[in-house]
Structure 1
Amino acid sequence: MQVLVRENNVEQALRVLKRKMQREGLFREMRDRRAYEKPSEKRAREKAEAIRRVRKLARKKAQREGLLPAPKKKVVPAR
C-alpha cells in the first residue's frame, strides 16, 4: 500500500493511509488475529456474519421494491 506525501503534509497522508487501511479491512483483521479463535467460535462468527449479510440484502431489496420505507436521511445543520 502506498500513499504519496504532497507538500510535506504528513497529516493528510496519514488520514489517506488510515482510510485505505479501513477499506481493505486491515484493522478488523488485526483485531481478529490478536488472539486465537477456536474453530467452534469461528464457525459461529462466520454463520452470524452470513445471516447478517442475507438480512441486509433482503432489507435493501424490500426497500427498493417499496415494501419497506427507505431509511431516514441524516440532517446536517448548516454552518
Structure 2
Amino acid sequence: MQVLVRDNNVDQALRVLKKKMQREGIFREMKARRAYEKPSERRNREDAEAIRRARKAARKQAVRDGLIAAPKKKPMTGRGPARPMAPTAE
C-alpha cells in the first residue's frame, strides 16, 4: 500500500493511509489476529457474517423491486464550501 506525501503534509497522508487500511479491512484483521479463535467460534462468526450479507442483499433487492421504501439519506454536513461562491467578474 502506498501513499504520497505532498508538500510535507504528513498528517493528510496519514489520514489517507488510515482510510485505505480501513477500506481494505486491515484493522479488522489485526483485531481478529490478536487472540486465538477456536474453530467453532470461527464457524459461528463466518455463518453470522454470511447471514448478514444475505439479509443485506435481500434488503437491497427489495428496495430495487419497490417492495420496501429506500432508507432516508443522511444529510451531508461539513463538506464543501460553507456558502455559495460569488460569481467572478470577467
Q: String of CA shifts for 1:35-72, please: whole Å, max 9, x gaps.
A: 00000000000000000000000000000000000001
* Matched residue SS, 1:70: coil
Gaps of 5+ in 1: none
Distance 2:33 2:68 in 1: 38
Correspondence for 1:2: 2
Question: More relative contact order in 1 or in 2 (CA 8 Å, sep 6+)?
Answer: 1
The structure richer in helix per residue is 1
Aligned CA-pair RMSD: 1.4
Q: In the TM superposition, what is the alpha-carbon distance from 1:74 to its structure 2 partner?
A: 1.3
What number of residue pairs does the alignment pair up?
Answer: 79
TM-score (norm 1): 0.94
Amino acid at match of 2:33: R
Amino acid at match of 1:25: G
Distance 2:22 2:4 in 1: 17
- Counterparts in 2 of 1:20-59, with a 5 A limit? 20-59=20-59
**Equivalent pairs: percent with the same residue?**
73
Structure possessing the higher radius of gyration over alpha carbons = 2
